[in-house]
Amino acid sequence: MATVEKQPAAVISPSAGPLLSVRDLKTYFRIEKALAKAVDGVSFDVMPDEVLGIVGESGSGKSVTSLSIMRLIPEPPGLIAGGQVLYQGRDLLKLSYPQMRKIRGAEIAMIFQEPMSALNPVFTVGFQLIETVRAHEKVSKQQAFDRAVAMLAQVGISDGAKRMRDYPHQFSGGMRQRVMIAMALCCNPNLLIADEPTTALDVTTQAQILELMLALKAQRPGAAIILITHDLAVVAETCQRVIVMYGGRVQEMATVKDLFAAPRHPYTQGLLRSLPAAQIGHERLHAIPGNVPSIMDLPPACKFCTRCEFVFDRCRVEEPPLHDLGGGHLVRCHLLEDEAKARVAGASEAPPQSGLAPPGVSSGSKPTGSSQAALAKPASHGEEAQGKALGGAARQDNGGLTPPARHEAARQKGEQP
């Protein structure tokens, strides 16, 4: 396998702070006389050497967030209405187009959802790779060609010099995705945004693509990845932290271990309960009721209130803030307000509940007493041990994720998992 002539990359120490900080990002779209709030107040950090996952259903704002970071929102109809995207101390939203073009591809690169759409069908793959290198570095055409061939070899495409003359339609889906990865990494970026890089690929190819991305990242000290995906199995296997988005807002943010062992937001719980697993047998899978609301008709308060089984009156009139449950675990839900306040006041030593959201929340004006009591219930020793089973979360033949062991234990007891 050929080796890639690496360009000097800035070695970023984790103590230097976040590689990327997104603060109160708002991206809207003007549709006739209405304003669609696709991303509304999203904030998060990406640390050096981190793989950050962003999950959620289609229409939750994941891809628009990534396109906003890259300043690729078409204006009009799009509009980045507010917020900051701080990269190494610079606000990308305030840079001119020429300044942003120097960063895009060289320091922050992106793998788009559909490689057949992202690659230009009328130009050869080689032309597009060479163009990317020469747009950001002062090298000769031959030097760019040699680097592109070496990069193709590194992503697993043999006979690169010959394949450089081929057009995108002459590659399979997995090979086109490898070309996109080569194009994104050929300039040695510090941050890679991968927008559903394994969509429509078979399970074997998915695993190869993910292993390739992580291996190439490991060769670049301080580099980070934002991985946008629908596949929770991929998140469990590759990410350190995960953000759950819904309705253009961050609904939950936690380490992967905490999120899978103790999901706190009803939406996150619904996603995890809907995953297929071999040991469930012929049981009917859980389904989140209803559909994702139109971006033009989002609820004015809690964005999930129209589908939440624990909704009460306050959810329909007041949107909850992100409550800090400690350890970097943030949840946007009124049910967690008391726990967050108790943590701030130092009045509670109880660890987070490790099961699903408690029953007993009626559609009345406030949660019932049983709900509040269940929220404060400490996790048992057995539940804590089961939570540690996250490391065993694995992809099944059908591409699903093995749920935490507590679900199976609950079923054996005849309880609702």
Q: What is the DSSP letter of 104?
A: B
Q: Is 37 helix (H, G, I), strand (E, B) or coil?
A: strand
The number of C-alpha atoms within 13 Å of 266 and in the hemisphere containing its C-beta is 22
CB 165 within 8 A of CB 134: no
Quick check: bond before 76 cis, omega within 30? yes
Give the C-alpha separation, 192 to 184, whole Å: 7
The tokens for 51 are: 């793989």
pLDDT of residue 348: 46
pLDDT of residue 93: 92
The pLDDT > 90 percentage for the chain reads 34
Is pLDDT above 80 for 350?
A: no
- What DSSP element (H or E) covers 139? none
Q: What is the CA radius of gyration of the chain?
A: 23
For the stretch 4-44, pLDDT in tens is: 344 444 444 444 689 999 999 999 998 887 888 999 999 99
Instruction: Characterize 186-207 residue by residue with b for buried, 16 or more Cβ atoms within 10 angstroms of its Cβ, and e for exposed.
Output: bbbbbbbbbbbbbbebeeebbe
Specify the pTM.
0.78
Phi and psi torsions of 383, nearest 5°: -65, -40
Q: How many CB atoms lie within 10 A of CB 140?
A: 9
Q: What is the DSSP letter of 396?
A: -
For the stretch 157-213, pLDDT in tens is: 888 889 999 999 998 878 888 888 888 888 888 899 999 887 767 788 778 888 888
Q: How many CB atoms lie within 10 A of CB 125?
A: 27
For the stretch 367-399, pLDDT in tens is: 554 444 433 333 333 333 333 333 343 333 333
Q: How many CB atoms lie within 10 A of CB 58?
A: 9
Place of tokens 């970023």: 12
Q: Residue 237: which residues within 8 A CB-CB, separation 6 or more?
A: 210, 393, 394, 395
CB 248 within 8 A of CB 61: yes
CB 194 within 8 A of CB 226: yes
